[in-house]
Structure formats: C-alpha cells, structure tokens
Amino acid sequence: MRKKIVAGNWKMNQNKAEAVSFIEALVKEDKPQDVQMMIAPSYVMLDACKQAATDELVIASQNISQHDKGAYTGEVSADMLKSIGVKTAIIGHSERRSIFGETHEILAEKVKQAINNSIQVVFCVGESLEEREAEKAESTVKSQLEDSLFFLSEIEMKNVIIAYEPVWAIGTGKTASPEQAQEMHAFIRSLIVDKYNQHVADATSILYGGSVKPSNAKELFAQPDVDGGLVGGASLKVDSFVELLHSFK
Ligand code: PGA
C-alpha cells in the first residue's frame, strides 16, 4: 500500500549536459511500473531536468529555504520551486546538518515551509558512528523525528517520506546490514504508530540511504520495512540507477 521509491541524491555533481543526458537516457529505459523514481539535482539544474523528465520521474530539490522571500542571499524559496513545477524537497540531509549547521529548529521551519506550500518532504534522519557505538542510535533518530517532523498533523504526514541514513554509511562504502536497516526502519515505523496511528505508519515510505548500490540493494529492499533507497554515488550513472529500480522482489 505504500510506495516503493528509489531516489537519487546527486549532491554537488552533474553539470547541465550530464544532468540532461542522464534524464533523457533514463526516460527511455525499461523500468518497473510500480517503483517511483526520483532524482534530486542541484538547484540550477532543476528546471532543465524537469523539462527533460516525463511525469513518471519526480524531480526533487536537495534543500529548501525556511523563509518565504526576501534578503536571504543564495537561498531558494518554496514559491520558486513551485514556479518551475518542483513539488518535492529533501530536508535534513546529514550534510546539511553537519556542514551547513542546520539545527532541529531550522529543519522544523523548513518542513513547515514545504508542507504549507504543498511540497512533499523527504525527511532524513540518522545517527553518527559515535552515537551508534554509544547505543544512542534509536534515541538520536527519535529526537530528530520528534524535534523537526512530528509536529505535523496526520493529514500533513501524507506528504512525507522518511529516509534513514546512518551518517557512518554515507559515502563511506560501509552499508548498514539489512538487519540493522530493518531494525531501525521498524523502530521508526513504531514511533509513527505511537505519535499518529497504524494507518499513517503503514502509509509512510521509509527509505534507506548510505552506500546503497546494485550489489546490496536487493537484500536491503527485501526487508519488510525498507521501502526503497535514497542513493548518492550509485545514482550518478543511468545503468546503476536503473539496476536499483529493478532491485525490488
Ligand atoms: P551515498 O549517499 O549513497 O553516496 O552513500 C547517500 C546520501 O547521502 O543520500
């Protein structure tokens, strides 16, 4: 009942020619009908990617401003995204948290801004290696959700996808084992049951991210609470992205 999704987070990769030729090639590939494809290019490529994409491919932004408009040099607003047809934004990626200092409060404002503008949110959570080793993985993820997402209403939660991305697995080649991923995903789903109800929990897609690649995706996506992946490195080549789309049982 919930969607299977493979989302590519291109981060600061792909210039215009690379981005557009990727989208044009992807559109022509043979893909499973029941998997939602999503690509998040850099802000400046969004419009070109949108134009090259068909309706089956969601083009998402990697970030969004928490402000409506005004003197915020370098920022991009929800209204600007909507004006080029972008209806999904990744919020709370660990690189935004750690490199750009996005706090729980800022992320809550970004979530509010997106949802108030009918922009779907891909909300990222995940613990650091130190937190996992100190057995604080679950409490970290719980507070990330409680502080920046769980103020939404049940209806607003319909427009949310959650991505669990353990920081120690991002770009490191070290993936969480399928069991570790399943354990955290089931925990996240139980938190949604506690805060909302079973219906909301069953309807919310929870993606795993962190060194997902064609060689490990099948096992990860086979876990009952893993509904797909948020993929960095392995989303940069059409072949491997398409392989990921075919990695669901
Ligand atoms: P990775 O990145 O697949 O390159 O580890 C995932 C992400 O940061 O979303």
The reply to whether ligand 1 has any atom less than 6 angstroms from the CB of 166 is no
The answer, yes or no, to whether any atom of ligand 1 lies below 6 A from the CB of 229, is no
Q: Is the CB of 232 under 6 A from ligand 1?
A: yes
pLDDT at 173: 87
pLDDT bin (cut points 50, 70, 90) of residue 17 is: very high
**pLDDT, the chain, mean:** 97
What distances in angstroms separate CA 191 from CA 57, 135, 155, 156, 172, one per listed residue?
A: 30, 18, 17, 16, 28
CA distance 179 to 28: 35
C-alpha closest to that of 149 among 127, 187, 126, 121: 121
Band of residue 249 on the pLDDT scale cut at 50, 70, 90: confident
Q: 196 with 157: CB under 8 angstroms?
A: yes
Reduced to 3 states, what is the DSSP secondary structure of residue 245? Answer: helix
pLDDT of residue 189 exceeding 90: yes
Pocket test for ligand 1, best of 6, 9, 236 (most atoms within 8 A of CB): 9
246 is catalytic: no
In this prediction, residue 47 carries a pLDDT of: 98
Q: What pTM, to 2 d.p., does this model score?
A: 0.97
Structural domains in the chain, CATH included, are 4-245 (3.20.20.70)
Q: Which helix (H) or strand (E) holds 90?
A: strand 88-91
Asked if pLDDT for residue 1 goes beyond 90, the answer is: no
What is the model's pLDDT at position 142? 98
Task: Give the position of tokens 């925990």.
Answer: 187
Query: For the chain, what percent of residues have pLDDT higher than 90?
Result: 97
93 is catalytic: yes
Amino acid 126: pLDDT:
98
- For position 113, what pLDDT does the model report? 98
**Range with the lowest mean pLDDT among 2-11, 55-64, 168-177?**
168-177
Res. 139: pLDDT tops 90: yes
Spacing, Cα 71 to ligand 1 middle (Å): 32
Q: Which atom of ligand 1 is nearest to the CA of 163?
A: 9
Percent of the chain with pLDDT over 70: 100
Tell me how many degrees the CA angle 42-103-113 measures, rounded to the nearest 5. 60
Name the residue at shortest CA distance from atom 1 of ligand 1. Answer: 232
pLDDT confidence tier of residue 90, bands split at 50, 70 and 90: very high
